[in-house]
Structure 1
């Protein structure tokens, strides 16, 4: 028998206790870093509007271009993790780079050119960090694919716990001290992430990508650093000329389709059904990011101009929410719903709904959320809607996010071959970035001239946009339902090919014995 097939070391690595410890390690490394990331990103739109005095349309397009690059560059970061440096080394390099970006915002963010340069550094750091952390989760559970949905839901919950803390804390720090104090506090996120990883890296022994198992090649590291500098220059140029984002959208869409077409045509027959299913579901999941973009753009500006931030109980004032803090409702709802969904997925086991069915329910929930925002004008007083409207709308939206965005990563892990896992997680983010730029353009339908101060004038502009977004989400739900039979057939074919591959592997093992 081949000694490597069932070695004690491999059995130890795949033991439930080792898997659990490794997952907790990755989850906490991600959480510390995301605390800083979400703290920064949820302040930036308001910072550009309130501090730098930029107009809604310019801010939405800058943010859209930033989103495209944040979501597009992880494809390259995932490839570097898979083939060049290793997932764990990219995690460390990405966290260091993100910390530098936050520090630049803290020191020089009051000047637009410096702010755009800092955003470019954040883009590069995220490109290295995000896909490789997600790929580590995939590798931890690759021997138990039935746990993908549950694992990635809990992983998503951890990110949103960090987001809730960052989004609630940073506006409070900004209101009491300054924008720059909040940016400085965000620098702690990557530093704590690096410190925790240094202490717990042994928990991930044997669970990285192939280059992690070999000594670091300095030549490769030098090439990656040169690539980071080139990307910094290109990203800063694109953010300065955000109209070029349209070309990025077209190019990104073509690249994503081209990658899948190449893989489907050149891949083995047993892989094709899974890749076709992944492509269809990727297109569906990308639609979600149009709605996701509204959290930082139209919904944040809606909270600034048309939501009463005063929280009362039986006529007594309790506290006042900052406009940037409302997006924390999204993260808090995810914290409530994630464990329930993860428990449900494990409970159902083989009887669980397919991913395509969850997508359909998710889009219906997103539609309900935006219709809630759209109908808020009916309960407005002098153009201001009560806070509970935001909490209800975010509740529906968050359920949809868990059923679409969170499971998008699980979908990639289930249908895409392991050898290209990090890269294809990056491709998932590319598609999301394309959709986010479209979301920024859609958010501009509600952009207002700076002289408009009356809430009663801005309210109908926002509610009209939210109603239209609700209809778009409803169309997404209908599309997902229509494609459900096709996805089911492809999934069965993929499962059969995987079972056949496992049978051949067992036969080879027996023959070797």
Structure 2
């Protein structure tokens, strides 16, 4: 395996392959974030679903998006190679966005396109991060900062998409927005093709061997079959939930099998990584309220004027999440590097705990803001800005460092698979998030802001208190996990 050794270069002077991976991920996330921003509302307005139905479909889609990542990570690690799997995933995603753009209001065509995106994401998602982990030695002090900046790439793409897709979709039709998503994948694939020589010697072992054509054909047939199965499951959600449970059980049985094959500190680190993945489920449940319950609250009960400027596409307020992450990422990356060189940086468990506290605060801020609503039942947009700030910092502490956690705590040959397991935890959260979002579901036909306000108050109060309790439990676990990760015995 080829890695970049430690050096004294600055935090922002990452090796050249880092920037290539940065832009591949940025443009891929542009496409996905654009779809995520408008999907739930598209299902309500164009397909005629109720809030509850749209939240359930979105939760199932999110579960598939992340549940398939473990499979894509395995294919990249053991069958095709990391880079080939990135290309196959990107092409599948591109086809999915085009299908949704052409589907109109045809429900099954929309579901087929959504399923294509879910499968394409599963193939793609784990592999850029796996490629990134192969660039650095495990003890390179730039690793936390590199993954934090990598998370900034994700959010740079998301920020642009969350502004452009609702805006263009609102003016020229929702289908236009989906074609804009497809354009992001074109740019991602072009970046890889034009700059692939930068990472020509960096790959998983199968990627350094000749292309196995028969295996490739089998995988392509499997991809097509999985797309049609996934589209069918979106109309049979109980089956989707059972399949997720079966896949999740299989993945974590394999993870524990690999952990207990090892001894001492290596095993202890893998078990600590498992505990942190369980903790992350609570974060992902809350994070997925942004395109569902929080988005609908913004549309129904938040003022849409900022500094005297009227925002005509309120879905675009979701761009506050990547905005805050872009602002905070380089600051946190600097402090991680600065204190890391002095041996004073917070441990990953402590960062996860801090992130959970921020997530709890983000919803309690909304509860407080709702108590200040005006006579029309509208809340000042600045409460929303504050809520997004806390949730975004929490995201950086948890999701932003989750991949760095995997790269640090598991053996190199298990990185791709474990990244898939990390995303499987967010798939589990997808199912839960749909049910949690239903707390904030407004009855069909209710449009009066004064009537919807108490619904959101009760929902966000439950979310804030629930995450607050989990945050306290996570804080209590910090000393235990620190020992598991650092003590040789």
Scaled to the shorter chain, the TM-score interval is: over 0.9
Flag structure 2 segments of 5+ consecutive residues without an equivalent.
Answer: none
1:423 corresponds to which residue?
A: 417
Instruction: Select the structure of larger CA radius of gyration.
Output: 1
Q: CA RMSD in A?
A: 1.9
1:443 corresponds to which residue?
A: 437
Q: What's the CA shift for 1:474?
A: 1.2
Range that drifts further, 448-457 or 16-25? 16-25
Q: What's the CA shift for 1:264?
A: 2.3
Work out the CA distance in 1 between the residues paired with 2:142 and 2:69: 24
Maintained 8 Å contact 1:153/1:407 = yes
Task: Please give the per-residue CA displacement for 1:387-446, whole angstroms capped at 9, x wherever unaligned.
Answer: 111111000110101001111111111111100111110011011110121011111122
Task: Please give the per-residue CA displacement for 1:296-352, whole angstroms capped at 9, x wherever unaligned.
Answer: 1100111121112123x4xxx323242211110011000011000000000001210
Write the mapping of 1:113-262 to structure 2, written as runs, cut at 5 A: 113-262=108-257
Selected match of 2:333 from 329, 332, 342? 342
Selected match of 1:356 from 314, 329, 349? 349
1:272 corresponds to which residue?
A: 267
Maintained 8 Å contact 2:259/2:270 = yes
Task: Please give the per-residue CA displacement for 1:239-280, whole angstroms capped at 9, x wherever unaligned.
Answer: 111233432453355334423322222234452111111111
Residues matched between the structures, number? 483
1:458 aligned to 2:452? yes
Range that drifts further, 273-282 or 142-151? 142-151
Write the mapping of 1:376-391 to structure 2, written as runs, cut at 5 A: 376-381=369-374, 382-391=376-385
2:303 corresponds to which residue?
A: 308
Flag structure 1 segments of 5+ consecutive residues without an equivalent.
Answer: 498-513
Work out the CA distance in 2 between the residues paired with 1:184 and 1:47: 15
Q: Which TM-score applies when normalising by structure 1?
A: 0.91
Maintained 8 Å contact 1:94/1:126 = yes
Larger helix proportion of the pair:
1
Work out the CA distance in 1 between the residues paired with 2:296 and 2:253: 36
1:294 aligned to 2:289? yes
Maintained 8 Å contact 2:138/2:408 = no
Maintained 8 Å contact 2:156/2:322 = yes
Maintained 8 Å contact 1:74/1:126 = yes
Work out the CA distance in 2 between the residues paired with 1:30 and 1:439: 25
Work out the CA distance in 2 between the residues paired with 1:385 and 1:90: 46
Distance 1:237 1:267, change over 3 A: farther
2:473 corresponds to which residue?
A: 479
Q: What's the CA shift for 1:115?
A: 0.4
2:364 corresponds to which residue?
A: 371
Q: Which TM-score applies when normalising by structure 2?
A: 0.95
